């Protein structure tokens, strides 16, 4: 029967019907169901065969007991030569050339035909353990999800097209060897020369350098694979007038495109696409939004709109020269914040200038460049609005000001004040006899950080993740990974002082940020207390968003069983996780702040899209706290974002609603809600830089 079916879809359907007939007929048979351990053991043997029979991958140990599997340069070469073939076989990760199917239920929407079975409206794979999947899925099916579905359908029905000019330039840069405009080098990094009769200290330093270079090379390979995939996907779809990106959402309501090549991708990905069928401009004043977008692609976004426009005017000749000969101007535009998005802007800017020279204004002109308005540290924006915090509201631009406030820079200023004090009056170094190494005092560490230089880049990630539950310990890992480790052995940080300096900086950032956003910390602490009370009764935390999405935190306790496997002439241990079915209280508590705030920014985005759709806007480039649309509709979107933000927190007291919804999950009285401040949320309506 299978021989007469011509596609996987019909073959699958045929087998399902045969299976159904067998089951209905009560024929005694038993299918073999593999346990997770058996699947993982099988996977391990397949990996062993792959390593033994090809030279495309290699096993590397980076210390400890874990081995990593890495692509070799030969794999990258083959990938580059055969990506057309590979892309044809990754159909699940591709855009569509017809509008996606509207979501009408949890299981119906997105792709048509055989691809429809792979995705649901809500990504619920993590719920499949512990029996919560069926309960949660049943609740979702009975909920009124008309508003989230309306937002999903509006975003995924947006028509896009490939920017052929940007694609051509990207191909040229890859042919030149990459390593420009944010693209990785196509050639592997040179290894370190071997040491001859090294001392123990020299050998230790050499190993550290090798480890850092190994990580750098591993990162290069991964980036290169993504670049080649993006370029070849764009190549495949470049001749279609319209392409679309089916979307769904995670369990918090955040909307994501399903294809890996999409409008939420990296700078190259975004630069390769633009809106199709963009409406023509009807108001000459709209030009300012186009110039502002160009400046922000270049990274000029910490100044007023007036200064952003001024920057574009001052650099007009460079912009026009870039449009005329991008490769000749590569050293200029290739070093800006978002080089490929800016390159697209340059091409479109020249078109605009040419159009104006004929028609006298931009009325009647259209461009597919998305004009996006981004929130400022959106997690803290939401906490500041929920708790009406005047200090936090000012720091994250909810209050009107003449130029955008920089909360990351503000925290850096507070940190630098402490560093200057500690560099003169801090504690002295001591010798740790047990560990046979120095124990650095705050005086030395402050001097080291002052020599390195602490700016907004050092504090940004920690401040940004504060609203998502990150605290001093999380800050320490972030500072080490983002700032200290990449600069080891460059004159300031060494293996001995790296961890102490990271911990010291994390403490300073934590103390500084608590002064800037007091209410956000109070809000998070309240959520943590309530979660601890709920979990004592073995309940998972659950709530309903203002847009009607039901949310359950899917975190249950897990344990691992250990199995031994013969692998590449050695013995390896495989750890197989399984769910006990009990609530993971720690994970529930650590996740409540980020999940709750993500559900609020998702609600704001969904409300904004639904409202904009009703106002006649049909193009959306949305990335959680970034709201993009066409140039013609930019002014309306600028206004709608603010109106919906105010509406969300005027019509809903979300912490109070959360408390009312979870009160039955604990027999104890919940702690009092955090006290609200004096911030007038209607000020957001007149704030130029709340979303800019």
- Structure pTM? 0.84
Burial 637-663 (b: 16+ CB within 10 A, else e): bbebbbebbbbbbeeeebbeebbeebe
Is pLDDT at 74 greater than 70 in this prediction? Answer: yes
DSSP symbols for 206-257:
HHHHHHHHHHHHHHHHHHHHHHHHHHHHHHHHTT-S-BB--EEE-TT--EEE
Burial 280-307 (b: 16+ CB within 10 A, else e): ebeeeebbbbbbbbbbbbbebbbebbee
Average pLDDT over residues 494-500: 87
Most confident residue range from 87-96, 519-528, 561-570: 519-528
Q: With contact defined as beta carbons under 8 Å apart, do 626 and 375 qualify? A: yes
Of 12 and 617, more confident: 617
Of 78 and 367, more confident: 367
The pLDDT, as a whole number, for residue 439 is 87
Task: Report the 10 Å Cβ neighbour count for 133.
Answer: 15
- When pLDDT is cut at 50, 70 and 90, the band that residue 472 belongs to is confident
The pLDDT, as a whole number, for residue 28 is 58
At 187-220, the pLDDT tens digits run 888 878 888 888 887 887 787 778 778 778 888 8
The pLDDT, as a whole number, for residue 62 is 59
Query: Percent of the chain beyond pLDDT 90?
Result: 57
Average pLDDT over residues 653-669: 94
The pLDDT, as a whole number, for residue 32 is 58
Is pLDDT at 508 greater than 90 in this prediction? Answer: yes
Is pLDDT at 81 greater than 80 in this prediction? Answer: no
Is pLDDT at 532 greater than 90 in this prediction? Answer: yes
Average pLDDT over residues 626-649: 98
Q: Which of 113-117, 177-181, 630-634 has the lowest average pLDDT? A: 113-117
From CA 500, how far away is CA 637, in angstroms rounded? Answer: 46
Of 85 and 222, more confident: 222
Residues with a catalytic annotation lie at 374, 460, 625
Query: Percent of the chain beyond pLDDT 70?
Result: 95
- Work out the mean pLDDT of the chain and round it to a whole number: 89
- When pLDDT is cut at 50, 70 and 90, the band that residue 30 belongs to is low
What is the helix (H) or strand (E) element at residue 329, kind and residue range?
A: none
At 258-307, the pLDDT tens digits run 998 999 999 999 999 999 999 999 999 999 999 999 999 999 988 999 99
């Amino acid at each position: 029967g299978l021989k007469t079916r011509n596609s996987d879809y019909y073959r699958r359907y045929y087998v399902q019907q045969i299976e159904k007939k067998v089951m209905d007929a009560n024929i005694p048979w038993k299918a073999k169901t593999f346990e997770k351990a058996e699947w993982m053991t099988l996977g391990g043997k397949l990996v062993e065969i792959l390593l033994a029979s090809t030279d495309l991958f290699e096993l590397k140990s980076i210390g400890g007991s874990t081995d990593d599997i890495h692509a070799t340069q030969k794999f990258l070469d083959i990938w580059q030569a055969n990506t057309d073939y590979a892309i044809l076989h990754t159909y699940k990760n591709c855009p569509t050339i017809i509008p996606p199917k509207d979501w009408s239920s949890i299981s119906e929407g997105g792709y048509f035909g055989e691809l429809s079975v792979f995705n649901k409206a809500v990504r619920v794979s993590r719920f499949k353990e512990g029996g919560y999947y069926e309960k949660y899925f049943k609740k979702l099916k009975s909920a009124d999800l008309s508003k989230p579905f309306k937002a999903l359908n509006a975003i995924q029905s947006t028509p896009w097209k490939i920017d052929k000019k940007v694609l051509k330039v990207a191909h040229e840069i890859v042919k030149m060897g990459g390593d420009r405009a944010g693209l990785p080098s196509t050639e592997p990094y040179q290894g370190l020369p071997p040491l001859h009769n090294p001392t123990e200290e020299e050998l230790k330093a050499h190993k550290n350098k090798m480890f850092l270079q190994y990580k750098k090379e591993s990162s290069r390979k991964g980036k290169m694979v993504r670049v080649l995939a993006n370029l070849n996907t764009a190549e495949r779809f470049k001749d279609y007038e319209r392409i679309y990106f089916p979307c769904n959402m995670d369990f918090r309501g955040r909307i994501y495109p399903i294809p890996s090549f999409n409008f939420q991708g990296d700078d190259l990905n975004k630069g390769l696409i633009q809106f199709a069928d963009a409406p023509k401009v009807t108001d000459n004043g709209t030009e300012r939004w186009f110039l502002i977008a160009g400046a922000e692609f270049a990274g000029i976004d910490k100044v007023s709109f007036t200064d952003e426009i001024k920057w574009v005017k001052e650099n007009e000749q460079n912009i026009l020269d870039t449009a005329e000969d991008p490769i000749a101007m590569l050293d200029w535009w290739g070093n800006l914040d978002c080089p490929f998005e800016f390159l697209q802007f340059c091409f479109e800017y020249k078109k605009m200038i040419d159009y104006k020279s004929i028609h006298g204004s931009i009325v009647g002109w259209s461009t597919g460049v998305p004009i996006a308005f981004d929130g400022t540290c959106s997690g803290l924006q939401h906490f500041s609005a929920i708790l009406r915090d005047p200090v936090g509201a000012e720091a994250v631009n909810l209050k009107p000001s003449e130029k955008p406030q920089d909360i990351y820079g503000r925290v850096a200023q507070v940190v630098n004040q402490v560093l200057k004090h500690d560099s003169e009056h801090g504690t002295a170094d001591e010798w740790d006899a047990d560990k046979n190494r120095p124990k650095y005092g705050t005086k030395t560490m402050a001097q080291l950080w002052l020599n390195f230089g602490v700016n907004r880049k050092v504090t940004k990630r920690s401040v940004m993740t504060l609203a998502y539950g990150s605290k001093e310990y999380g800050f320490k890992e972030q500072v080490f990974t983002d700032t200290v480790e990449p600069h080891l052995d460059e004159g300031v940080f060494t293996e001995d002082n790296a961890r102490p300096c990271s911990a010291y900086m994390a403490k300073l950032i934590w103390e500084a940020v608590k002064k800037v956003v007091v209410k956000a910390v109070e809000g998070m602490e309240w959520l943590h207390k309530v979660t601890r009370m709920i979990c004592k009764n073995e309940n998972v935390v659950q709530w309903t968003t203002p847009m009607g999405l039901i949310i359950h935190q899917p975190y249950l306790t897990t344990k691992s069983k250990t199995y031994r496997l013969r692998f590449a002439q050695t013995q390896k241990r495989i750890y197989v996780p399984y769910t006990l079915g009990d609530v993971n209280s720690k994970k529930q508590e650590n996740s409540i702040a980020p999940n709750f705030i993500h559900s609020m920014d998702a609600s704001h985005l969904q409300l904004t899209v639904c409202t904009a759709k009703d106002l006649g806007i049909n193009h959306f480039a949305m990335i959680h706290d970034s709201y993009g649309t066409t140039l013609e509709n930019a002014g309306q979107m600028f206004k709608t974002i603010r109106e919906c933000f105010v509406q969300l927190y005027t019509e809903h007291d979300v912490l109070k609603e959360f408390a009312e919804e979870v009160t039955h999950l604990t027999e104890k009285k919940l702690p009092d809600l955090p006290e609200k401040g004096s911030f007038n949320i209607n000020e957001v309506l007149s704030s130029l830089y709340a979303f800019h």
